Amino acid sequence: MNSLGTRIRKLRKERKLTLEALAADRLTKGMLSQIENDKAKPSMESLAYIAERLGVKASELLEQVTPATIRHLLEQVESLFAKVKRGDADNHQQIVDMIEPYAEDLPLSYEAGRLLYIYADAQYEAGLSTWEPSLQQARQIFKEINLLSHWFTTYMLQLAILAENRQYDEAYACIMQGKEEISRENYQLDSRDTGKLAYYISILQLAIGEHEAGKQLINETISNAHQNQLYYHIDDMYRIAAYCAMIDGDFVQAEHMMMKLEQYRVFVEQVDVDAFIFVLRAHYYNNYTHDYQRALIEIERFKALVHGDKEKLDENFYYAEKGKSHYFLGQYMEAKEAFEHYKEIPMYISHPFDLLSMNECFSYKALNYAQLGELTMAYDIAKKAYMDSKGLVDLPYKEKIKEVYFSIKEQIDSV
């Protein structure tokens, strides 16, 4: 970071002042030159004089980074951060490079906390392992200046990173640490953050196999959301509650949750909520009611949305369920045509329920290739789905994935 002398010289030149002009009649040119070259330290009286002449506060000269510098940096960083997409390592590295020279010497302020939060996020997205200390520093700043909502977002980012890396136990420990601190320090979160806390606890309970606790909490959180008329994440909660009901074989509850999601869809008119419903219903008809023609109808409704909003919606969802419907209908060539476009699980998918249901679609893709006599291709796909699912919570999807892998492996071994 710049020294005191360097900061004085930089500000002097920005203001187009010569040494003589800044020194005026209170300092000599030689003394000011020594100060700028860090060969002499100004007295507090001289520092106050220099600051006055430069049009800044003396405290700003003493700080490693001035408030004006931080504000300007944050404006630049926020502009780039708003545009950069997940998975864009190069542009996230650019953000890291912008913040890094200042990161060690940031003062106690909102701007500093926000910079460190973005710094942590960008470090992670750039593939760096150094993100956590920066996030902890941001958390501490927000705590000390009593910005509890921002303090809470640092936990949200940490658990999102951990969940993305399938460290579900660590993510659950992270959110419970936040909950314990809230209780211990008697923090008063606003209603929205209180709802978020319950939501993330519930989905992480489901992720680590605490099915009954997670299901109960998600239903309680839905009830509280309606009672308080705060609907943040309500579409996700309906969808997860529907998944839980399907897994339990409670199809009345599953239909009820999908109906609630339909009602919410009419209320918000958001394309991603529509997409949730169409994929969820296609999955329901394919896996649970075995009404494959209805599944095709629902997934074609999703396809219509994709044409209008390719930025938000991933076509892998469409081809996964479409291929599965055709497979169940015995239409193997149509299934192959769809499955050939189903190549990956979208990068933002991190919950075991979603990962397993999509890997199960890969298993059906493998079965379809096996049906057409392409055993080597079938084996490779089945093995990849099996290996990708091994560390995830036990669900019926996981059993199907395992069954398909060993079935195709047995066929390969017998050839």
Cα–Cα distance, 27 to 40 (Å, whole number): 13
Q: Is 181 exposed, middle or buried (0-12, 13-18, 19+ CB in 10 A)?
A: middle
At 342, the pLDDT band (50, 70, 90 cuts) reads: very high
| Biggest alpha carbon–alpha carbon distance for the chain | 97
Mean pLDDT (whole number) for 242-259: 96
What integer pLDDT is reported at residue 379 of this predicted model? Answer: 97
Backbone φ and ψ for 85, nearest 5 degrees, come out as -100, 155
Query: Would the pTM count as exceeding 0.85?
Result: no
DSSP state at residue 50: H
User: What does the DSSP assignment read for 244-276?
Assistant: HHHHHT-HHHHHHHHHHHHHHHHHH--HHHHHH
What single-letter amino acid sits at 326? H
pLDDT per residue as tens digits for the range 285-338: 999 999 999 999 999 999 988 765 555 689 999 999 999 999 999 999 999 999
Mean pLDDT (whole number) for 395-400: 96
Is residue 125 a contact partner of residue 135, using CB atoms and an 8 Å limit? Answer: no
What single-letter amino acid sits at 141? I
What integer pLDDT is reported at residue 64 of this predicted model? Answer: 59
What integer pLDDT is reported at residue 67 of this predicted model? Answer: 81
Mean pLDDT (whole number) for 73-83: 95
DSSP state at residue 103: G
pLDDT per residue as tens digits for the range 108-165: 899 999 999 999 999 999 999 999 999 999 999 999 999 999 999 999 999 999 999 9
Pair of tokens at residue 117:
């939060």
What single-letter amino acid sits at 164? E
Rg of the chain's alpha carbons, rounded to an integer? Answer: 28
What integer pLDDT is reported at residue 106 of this predicted model? Answer: 83
Scan for tokens 């004085």, then name that residue.
8
CA pseudo-torsion sign 345, 351, 356, 361: negative
What integer pLDDT is reported at residue 151 of this predicted model? Answer: 97
What single-letter amino acid sits at 19? L
Cα–Cα distance, 96 to 90 (Å, whole number): 10
The per-residue pLDDT of the chain, averaged, comes to 92
